[in-house]
């Protein structure tokens, strides 16, 4: 009798643990503003500080006018020596073709951060998380090519390392404060001023990133308030990652690797650089499963059009076609 009771208890505990780990329901948003602040000070005495990487990434889509952009503010190496790199990559496209681009490097005294909050300055560029739901971005290259002001308002709750799908090793962090956000802003270039209204994404990565390769992507549907974020990372000799689906209340489900996978089906090589043109994303959890195909809008662009379906058991819970998103390889 006791054995049967024990078996029932153990089985129940295991079931709920699996449910918690694989498809945790409404858990998200436990990060704080300081999670998006610079973390170099926490690692600066590490013996492997030469492998330090930290970057703040923002993108947006404006489907009506065809304007899309991605911005990467990054640091690499020992910021307490001369062995460092500080810079920003900015790219704005119109109808899938590059409209504006800027790549800049900065000296250490041109780079300012607030360790306790998410304020990052590089030259004239500014990224500031006003509160947990609002991010302000100002992009202004030194050459005066363009000026961009964006405000992102969170739609789906963010997730931190504890809630995420890339939780190890201990010195690698991937935090997503805004998996999906409404975006408003103004873009100025030449004699042109354009209003931006669309949707976007923001994440913050940091740590001692050594021997790491990854495939990452995000899909946002602002009409349905749904976002999908996934990553498959090769860290040393291990493969880690998974996929998370969120709505406005939190995490709907997540599927960790190896029950989730990303495979490049087709690609091209241009100037010795490989560009995926067709990618399959699949995953099967206890309740939900995903079947997604991503096609590159141009051979050298990181913008993808995603089509696929989310199954609840064997029933289609959500399907989509040609939804714009980004993919990194």
Which of 33, 19, 29 has its CA nearest to residue 251?
29
**pLDDT value at residue 275:** 86
- What is the model's pLDDT at position 286? 93
| Residue 15, token pair as written in the block | 């079931």
User: What are the tokens at 7?
Assistant: 């078996």
Q: What are 179's two structure tokens?
A: 């998996």
Please name which of 125, 128, 126 lies closest in space to residue 141, comparing C-alpha atoms: 125
Tokens of 217: 């992507």
**7-31 pLDDT, tens per residue?**
333 333 333 333 333 344 434 556 6
107, 85 in Cβ contact below 8 A?
A: no
Tokens of 208: 């001692």
Lateral strand order in the sheet of 250-256? 250-256, 238-247, 226-235, 212-221, 315-328, 303-312, 288-296, 273-284, 260-270
**C-alpha closest to that of 62 among 192, 152, 158, 191:** 152
- pLDDT beneath 50, residues of the chain: 1-27
* Contact in structure between 100 and 92 (CB atoms under 8 Å): yes
DSSP-derived 3-state class of residue 286? coil
For each of the domains in the chain, give its residue range(s) and CATH number, in order of start: 25-328 (2.40.370.10)
Collapsing DSSP to helix, strand or coil, 97 comes out as strand
Helix ranges (DSSP H) in the chain: 2-22, 40-43
Question: Over the Cα atoms of the chain, what is R_g?
Answer: 20
Q: Could you tell me if 122 and 110 are in contact, meaning their C-beta atoms sit under 8 angstroms apart?
A: yes
Q: How many CA atoms lie within 13 A of 53 on its CB side?
A: 15
pLDDT tens digit string along 82-109? 999 999 999 999 988 899 999 999 999 9
Burial of 131 (0-12, 13-18, 19+ CB in 10 A): exposed
Instruction: Please give the structure tokens belonging to residue 118.
Output: 């998410």
**CA 245 remoteness from chain centre:** 13
The answer to whether the beta carbons of residues 95 and 112 sit under 8 Å apart is no
Q: How far is residue 273's CA from residue 205's CA, in Å, rounded to a whole number?
A: 24
Alpha-carbon span 313 to 316, nearest angstrom: 8
DSSP single-letter state for residue 109: G
């Amino acid at each position: 009798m006791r054995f049967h009771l024990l078996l029932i208890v153990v089985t129940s505990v295991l079931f709920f643990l699996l449910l918690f780990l694989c498809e945790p329901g409404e858990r998200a948003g436990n990060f704080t503003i300081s999670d998006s602040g610079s973390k170099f000070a926490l690692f600066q005495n590490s013996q492997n500080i030469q492998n330090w990487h930290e970057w703040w990434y923002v993108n947006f889509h404006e489907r009506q006018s065809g304007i899309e952009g991605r911005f990467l503010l990054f640091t690499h190496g020992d910021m307490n020596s001369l062995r460092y790199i500080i810079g920003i990559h900015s790219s704005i496209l119109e109808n899938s073709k590059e409209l504006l681009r800027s790549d800049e490097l900065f000296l250490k005294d041109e780079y300012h951060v607030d360790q306790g909050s998410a304020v990052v300055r590089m030259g004239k560029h500014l990224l500031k998380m006003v509160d947990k739901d609002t991010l302000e971005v100002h992009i202004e290259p030194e050459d005066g090519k363009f000026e961009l002001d964006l405000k992102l308002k969170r739609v789906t709750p963010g997730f931190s390392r504890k809630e995420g799908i890339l939780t190890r090793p201990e010195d690698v962090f991937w935090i997503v404060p805004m998996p999906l956000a409404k975006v408003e802003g103004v873009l100025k270039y030449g004699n042109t001023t354009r209003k931006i209204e669309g949707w976007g994404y923001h994440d913050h990565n940091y740590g001692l990133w050594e021997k790491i390769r990854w495939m990452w992507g995000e899909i946002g549907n602002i009409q349905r308030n749904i976002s999908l974020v996934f990553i498959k990372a090769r860290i040393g000799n291990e493969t880690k990652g998974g996929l998370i689906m969120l709505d406005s209340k939190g995490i709907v489900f997540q599927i960790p690797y190896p029950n989730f996978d990303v495979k490049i089906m087709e690609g091209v090589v241009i100037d010795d650089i490989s560009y995926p043109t067709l990618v399959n994303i699949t995953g099967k959890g206890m309740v939900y499963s995903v079947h997604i195909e991503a096609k590159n809008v141009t051979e050298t662009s990181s913008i993808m059009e995603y089509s696929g379906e989310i199954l609840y058991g064997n029933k289609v819970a959500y399907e989509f076609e040609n939804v714009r998103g980004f993919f990194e390889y």
